Amino acid sequence: MNPPLDAHSYYRRITDVDIAEIARELLGGRIMQETQQTLLCDCPNHASQSHRSLHIMVDKQGWYCFGCAVGGDVLQLVEFVQHGVATRGQSGRMPESHRQARDFLAARAGLPPLSKLAVESPEAAEEAHQLALRVREALTALADVYHQRLIGNAEVLTWFRKKYGTAEETIERLSIGFADTGPSVARVLMDGPATFTMRELAATSAFRPTAQDALVPFFDGRIVFPYWSRGHVVFMIGRRTPWTPDHEWETSKYKKLAVRNDRNNNHVAACIRNDVLYNEDVLLTHPERVVITEGVTDCISLMEHGFPAVSPVTVQIREADWDRLLPKLGGVKTVFICQDNEISEVGNQGALKTASVLGAHGILTKVASLSLGEKQEHARRELRERFGVDASAKAKDLPQGGPNAPRRCQDRRQRIFRLRQDCGRL
C-alpha cells in the first residue's frame, strides 16, 4: 500500500494500533491489574503509593495518569513512557520526543518517517496534527459539559434511560450528554482551564459563527452521543427529544456534525470527518466476532452486554470507507449485521449490500433479522385482517380522509396511520 499523502491519514495510520498492545510492550511488569476496559499501571514518571495511577483505557483507546494529570492517545503514551512528556498545545516545530515516538509507531506500521515523505513538509504536517488535537480536545471538553448537564437534569435523564435502558455507568463512560438551553456552552469552554478560542470552537462544527461575532450551538435540546477514538471525542451525533425546538431544521430524528466545505462550512476543521464508525476503535483489539448495527443506541446496548459492535449510524457503510475498514475486518472470523426491522425494509436492503461487500472479500458474514414484538405483530395483523392493508403500503395508496370526508373515513385513516407507526422498529 502506498504511503498516505496527508497529515491526517499519516497520523491516523501510525496510531491504528491497539493501545493495550503498546502498553504491554512498553510497560510490561508495571501493569498491576487488568479489567475488560482498563489496564491499571504503575506510572514510570512519578512515585505512587497505589502503583495504579496510570490508566490505559482500552475501550476509548486512550490513557490518563492521575498522578501526573496528563493523558492522550497512543502516540502521546509512547512519548510519555519513553521521554516523560506528552506533547500537546504545541505550535510550530514539534519537539524531538514527539518525533521519536512518531517514528517508533511508524516503523511498527511499516511506514517511513514523516520526514521521508516529500508531498508535504514535516512542519506543515505537524501543525495540521496539532490543530486536530486541539479541536478534539475542545470536542472532548464539550462532551463533558453536555454530560454534566444530562446527569444534572433528572427529567431528561429519566426520559433517556426509560427509552433506551442505558445504564448510568455506560452514560458516564461514554460521556453521553444533553445539549440544553442553559448557560452559554461556548462561554463555559472559553472561560475554562483550556481557554478555547471562538475560532477553535467553531472549528469543531459543534458551534456556528454568526455575523455578530457570536457562536450558536449546533445541537439544541438533543441527546448528544460522542464518537470516541484515540482517547478523544472526534465526532458527535444528536438525537431529537421532546425538548428539541420545533423548527424546520430540527425535524430529523438524528443530526450529525457538518463537515468542512468551501461553500458554507469553511470554519470547520478538516479533521471533522463523517468517516468514522461509532465505536470503530474496537476493531483495533482484534475481536473474533463483530456486530454491525444501524443505530447508535443499538450499538451501545450491545457494548453494554459485552459484544464488540460498531455502527455507521445509517443503513450501510459508505463506499469511500471500505478501503480503510476492510483491512481491520480481515482478521474477524464472523461479522453479524443487525439492522432495524422496518416496514420499508431499507435496513435489510442495506444489510445485504454490506454483506455482499464483506463476502466478496472472504469475510464470513451473517445477516440477523430482529424479531418483532407483540406490539408490532398485533399492528401488522390488524392492518391486514381489519383493513386489508399491507404494512409496507405507501401513504398515497392508503384510504383518503381529507377534511371533507365523513368522520368515519377520517377515523379509519388515522387508525391505519397509527398502526403503521407500530408495525416495525422505526
- pLDDT of amino acid 1: 44
> CA 318, 321, 324: angle at the middle one, nearest 5?
160
Average pLDDT, the chain: 87
**Whole-structure pTM value:** 0.84
At 297-316, the pLDDT tens digits run: 999 999 999 999 999 988 78
- pLDDT of amino acid 14: 94
Asked which of 369, 390, 410 is the last residue of a domain, the reply is 369
Residue 345 shares a structural domain with residue 399: no
Residue 23 shares a structural domain with residue 37: yes
Residue 85 shares a structural domain with residue 72: yes
- pLDDT of amino acid 315: 77
- pLDDT of amino acid 397: 57
Asked which of 120, 138, 161 is the last residue of a domain, the reply is 120
CATH label of the domain that carries residue 311: 3.40.1360.10
Residue 295 shares a structural domain with residue 322: yes
Beta partners for residue 278, in sequence order: 311
- pLDDT of amino acid 31: 96
With a cut of 70, say whether residue 344 has pLDDT above it: no
Confirm whether 275 is domain-assigned: no
Residue 215 shares a structural domain with residue 325: no
Give residues with Cβ within 8 angstroms of 222, minimum separation 6: 178, 179, 238, 239, 240, 241, 244, 255
Residue 104 shares a structural domain with residue 166: no
Residue 14 shares a structural domain with residue 92: yes
Asked which of 59, 93, 120 is the last residue of a domain, the reply is 120
In the chain, the N- to C-terminal Cα span, in Å, equals 41
- pLDDT of amino acid 426: 41
C-alpha span between 147 and 174 (Å, rounded): 9
At 66-91, the pLDDT tens digits run: 999 999 999 999 999 999 999 986 66
At 159-200, the pLDDT tens digits run: 999 999 999 999 999 999 999 977 799 999 999 888 899 999
How does 123-153 read in b/e, with b if 16+ C-beta sit within 10 Å?
eebbbbbbbbbbbbbbbbbbbbbbbebbeeb
- pLDDT of amino acid 342: 60
With a cut of 80, say whether residue 420 has pLDDT above it: no
Residue 346 shares a structural domain with residue 410: no
**Sheet containing 365-369: order of strands:** 309-310, 289-293, 334-339, 365-369
CATH label of the domain that carries residue 189: 3.90.980.10
- pLDDT of amino acid 320: 87
With a cut of 60, say whether residue 2 has pLDDT above it: no
Residue 112 shares a structural domain with residue 138: no
Residue 327 shares a structural domain with residue 231: no
Residue 135 shares a structural domain with residue 191: yes
DSSP three-state, residue 228: strand
Confirm whether 1 is domain-assigned: no
At 367-380, the pLDDT tens digits run: 987 766 677 777 77
Residue 53: give the domain boundaries.
7-120
With a cut of 60, say whether residue 394 has pLDDT above it: no
Between 3 and 34, name the one with better pLDDT.
34
In this predicted structure, which of 97-111, 241-255, 257-271, 389-403 has the lowest mean pLDDT?
Answer: 389-403
With a cut of 80, say whether residue 396 has pLDDT above it: no
Confirm whether 272 is domain-assigned: no
Confirm whether 262 is domain-assigned: no
Give the pLDDT band (50/70/90) at residue 4.
very low
Give the pLDDT band (50/70/90) at residue 117.
confident
C-alpha span between 317 and 275 (Å, rounded): 9
DSSP three-state, residue 38: strand
How does 188-222 read in b/e, with b if 16+ C-beta sit within 10 Å?
bbbeeeeebebebbbbbbbbbeeeeeebebbbbbb
Confirm whether 268 is domain-assigned: no
Confirm whether 185 is domain-assigned: yes
At 188-233, the pLDDT tens digits run: 999 988 889 999 999 999 999 987 878 999 999 999 999 999 999 9
Confirm whether 317 is domain-assigned: yes
C-alpha span between 157 and 153 (Å, rounded): 6
* DSSP characters over 310-338: EB-SSSS--GGGHHHHHHHHTT-SEEEEE
- Over residues 146-169, mean pLDDT: 96
Radius of gyration (C-alpha) of the chain in whole angstroms: 24
Q: To the nearest 5 percent, what fractions of the chain are helix, strand and coil? A: 45, 15, 40
CATH label of the domain that carries residue 87: 3.90.580.10
Question: How many domains does one find in the chain?
Answer: 4
Residue 171 shares a structural domain with residue 100: no
**Sheet containing 31-34: order of strands:** 31-34, 38-41, 54-57, 62-65, 70-72
C-alpha span between 416 and 426 (Å, rounded): 16
C-alpha span between 216 and 165 (Å, rounded): 31
DSSP three-state, residue 273: coil
With a cut of 90, say whether residue 241 has pLDDT above it: yes
Confirm whether 261 is domain-assigned: no
Give the pLDDT band (50/70/90) at residue 381.
confident
